[in-house]
Chains A and B, each alone.
Chain A
Amino acid sequence: MNLIERVIAISRRRSPWICRLNAGSCNGCDIEITPLLSPRYDAEQLGIELHGTPKHADIVLISGTLTLRSRQAILDIYDQVPNPKAVVALGSCPSSGNVFAGSPLVLSCSLDTVVPVDVWVPGCPPRPQAILDGIARAAKLLEDGATKSQLAKSRLAGSQPESRCGRPS
């Protein structure tokens, strides 16, 4: 790894820009992101910036239950994020459906079957400290080139998971 690659790798850890994606959340998780920008948690110290567009983001925070309608939106927005990228799943909903599991319009599968998830932040909703920690871990993975999408690109972890979930078979 030469010097410039090293500097870029460090910059990936020091400047993670995040983009929020609400996949059908009750809004609890999203509200817990706002305090990150407040004086108490001040995510800017870690170089974190909240951006509205996936084109500027490095890390996508996906919160909420996966629904039949949001599945395609998640895939579209994930594809718009330029590589290298990381995904952080916020709350218990993306992993299991949480209290909404089994509802008619809810996909009964985890986010991992739709897009590769790098960090899971459990909780309903997770505390802001936990979210910050999740973002910092994802940023560290970006530096090491160890996010799932980066590994898939370098063909270490095989191909990306086929997103079968929610498709009529």
Chain B
Amino acid sequence: MNAVWSYLVAIAVWPGLLFAAPLGWLELWFMRKLVARLQGRQGPPFFQPFFDVMKLLGKETVIPRGVSRGIFLALPLVSVAAVTAALAIVPLPGNPVPSLPGDVVLLLYLMEVPVLCEVLAGYVSRSIYGQVAAMREAILSLAYNLPFLVAIIAMAQVAGSFQMRALQEVPYGLVHLLAAVTFLLALPARMKLNPFSIANAEHEIIADSHIEYSGPPLALFKLSHAIEVVLLTELFAVVFIPATPWPLVNLVVYLVAGILVLGGVTLLATTTARLRLTQAFRFYWVWGGLASAITMAATLVR
């Protein structure tokens, strides 16, 4: 199999779209169901996220007056393409893509693209609510990216290489634990879950920055979010969960770990109320900064 084919397979089938979309829907359903059960409700049926996306695909797209058609429709496509490409880099067992030197940097860059698309989507929509959401998202990304990036960079520092496979093969140690905690600190904000659901505060600013989107472009944004959830949980599992020599066992362990992490952040989301932007920013720069400093220090004294 030559390189082009392996990239195509990785992006389209495994671990790309064909695998990530159903898994993302499963994980979204799991989160919604868990929230509902914790609130004493029955919760949505199993296929709900799938139905939501299919229904949106069958709806009309309303483009607000004065909005550039090209960028309005391109943003959701770019967002989906970027998260799918990012997932194709993650060395899940059986991933056909060869490991490249420096793919960690590429991965971190691709993971920023959906955030950027969301900020732009808010600004191009010409809706005041969308612009507020975009501003909140942009400021929040400055906050949560500190612990998020440090967690990954600390692992690269220990591995001595910016290569995903090398990160995976680091012998398990204290840095793993510290970096995992730092990563988990950033996770709720990256997933836009409750204490940090500031950019998609539906009670304050009606919706997130996709407020003016409808129909298929909105469906693509929902799909991009579903894949992003898979990407974040699997990235956590691949980097911080010790690997066994058996690929199949690894796969099961990674999936279970992903679901457990999701359960944890969902529990946090149901038991907390939304913070203000300044509070969230301060939280990440004080406590996230502290965790980052400790993690980096641990990589040095090791």
Which A residues contact B (CB, under 8 angstroms)? 5, 7-12, 14-15, 38-39, 42, 44-45, 47, 51-53, 55-56, 58, 80, 82-84
Closest A residue to B205 using CB positions: A52
Closest B residue to A39 using CB positions: B40
**In the complex, what's the smallest C-beta–C-beta distance from B208 to chain A, in angstroms?**
10
Closest A residue to B218 using CB positions: A56
Docked Cα-Cα span, A118 to B60, in Å, equals: 19
Which of A7, A11, A47 is packed against the most chain B CB atoms within 10 Å? A11
Docked Cα-Cα span, A5 to B212, in Å, equals: 25
Docked Cα-Cα span, A80 to B43, in Å, equals: 29
Q: Main SS of chain B's interface residues?
A: loop
Closest A residue to B36 using CB positions: A44
**In the complex, what's the smallest C-beta–C-beta distance from B50 to chain A, in angstroms?**
8
Closest B residue to A12 using CB positions: B55
- Given A14-B51, A53-B206: A82 and B61 interface contact (C-beta under 8 Å): yes
Query: Which residue of the partner chain, among B36, B55, B129, contacts A11 with CB atoms under 8 Å?
Result: B55
Docked Cα-Cα span, A53 to B202, in Å, equals: 10
Size class of the B contact interface (CB-based, 8 Å):
20 to 34
Which B residues contact A (CB, under 8 angstroms)? 32, 36, 39-45, 47-48, 50-52, 54-55, 57-62, 129, 202, 206-207, 211-215, 218
Docked Cα-Cα span, A8 to B219, in Å, equals: 13
Docked Cα-Cα span, A56 to B54, in Å, equals: 14
**In the complex, what's the smallest C-beta–C-beta distance from A134 to chain B, in angstroms?**
19
Q: Which residues of the partner chain A approach B202 to less than 8 Å between Cβ atoms?
A: 51-52
Query: Which residue of the partner chain, among A8, A45, A82, contacts B45 with CB atoms under 8 Å?
Result: A45
A82 touches B215 (CB 8 A): yes
Docked Cα-Cα span, A82 to B56, in Å, equals: 10
B215 touches A15 (CB 8 A): no
Query: Which residue of the partner chain, among A5, A14, A55, contacts B214 with CB atoms under 8 Å?
Result: A55
Instruction: List 9 contacting pairs A-B, 8 Å CB cutoff, sorted by A.
Output: A8-B57, A11-B54, A11-B58, A38-B41, A44-B43, A47-B51, A51-B202, A52-B207, A82-B214
Q: Which residues of the partner chain B approach A39 to less than 8 Å between Cβ atoms?
A: 39-41
B52 touches A55 (CB 8 A): no
Q: Which residues of the partner chain A approach B45 to less than 8 Å between Cβ atoms?
A: 14, 45, 47
**In the complex, what's the smallest C-beta–C-beta distance from B83 to chain A, in angstroms?**
21
Closest A residue to B125 using CB positions: A55
- Given A39-B40, A44-B36: A53 and B207 interface contact (C-beta under 8 Å): yes
**In the complex, what's the smallest C-beta–C-beta distance from A37 to chain B, in angstroms?**
9
The 8 closest A-B pairs by CB, nearest first: A8-B58, A52-B206, A11-B54, A11-B55, A82-B60, A14-B51, A39-B40, A11-B51
B43 touches A45 (CB 8 A): yes
**In the complex, what's the smallest C-beta–C-beta distance from B165 to chain A, in angstroms?**
39
Closest B residue to A52 using CB positions: B206
**In the complex, what's the smallest C-beta–C-beta distance from B192 to chain A, in angstroms?**
16
- Given A53-B206, A55-B214, A56-B218: A15 and B40 interface contact (C-beta under 8 Å): no
